[in-house]
């Protein structure tokens, strides 16, 4: 699932859609509004996000609102945290080395 999450996040349009959904649910029409692309093109992006588990689509009478699903983002954040710790330790060692050279 991590591969699908990162593949979905690789596209700036999909990241923008997720940022919008972080503010609350929205329809495809609402999500398509800020982009210079057709509604079917936005729907393709939504399918990628849905397949990665990053969004869900509901039913509300005639509407099919999209919602952010944070689980895969949490998993990606946890995976990245290990690398953040590695880089922080590396920079701390570099800082210590540079201070010793002064």
In tens, the pLDDT along 47-90 reads 999 999 999 998 877 778 999 998 999 999 999 998 888 888 88
CATH number at residue 45: 1.10.10.10
Domain of residue 92: give its range. Answer: 2-101
Lowest-confidence pick of 8-12, 17-21, 79-83:
79-83
pLDDT digits (tens, 9 = 90+) for 22-56: 999 999 999 999 999 998 999 999 999 999 999 99
Distance between first and last Cα of the chain: 47
H-helix or E-strand spanning residue 57 = strand 55-57
Contacting residues for 76 by C-beta, under 8 A, at least 6 apart = 2, 5, 6, 9
| pTM reported for the whole predicted model | 0.80
Contacting residues for 78 by C-beta, under 8 A, at least 6 apart = none
- Supply the pLDDT for residue 59: 81
Structural domains of the chain, count: 1
Closest Cα partner for 8 from 49, 43, 68? 49
- Supply the pLDDT for residue 71: 92
């Amino acid at each position: 699932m991590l591969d699908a999450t990162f593949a979905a996040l690789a596209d700036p349009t999909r990241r923008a859609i997720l940022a919008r959904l972080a503010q609350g649910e929205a329809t495809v029409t609402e999500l398509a509004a800020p982009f210079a692309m057709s509604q079917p093109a936005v729907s393709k992006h939504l399918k990628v996000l849905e397949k990665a588990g990053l969004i869900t689509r509901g039913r509300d009478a005639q509407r099919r609102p999209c919602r952010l699903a944070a689980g895969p983002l949490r998993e990606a954040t946890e995976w990245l945290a290990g690398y953040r710790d590695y880089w922080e330790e590396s920079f701390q060692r570099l800082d210590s080395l540079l201070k010793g050279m002064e």
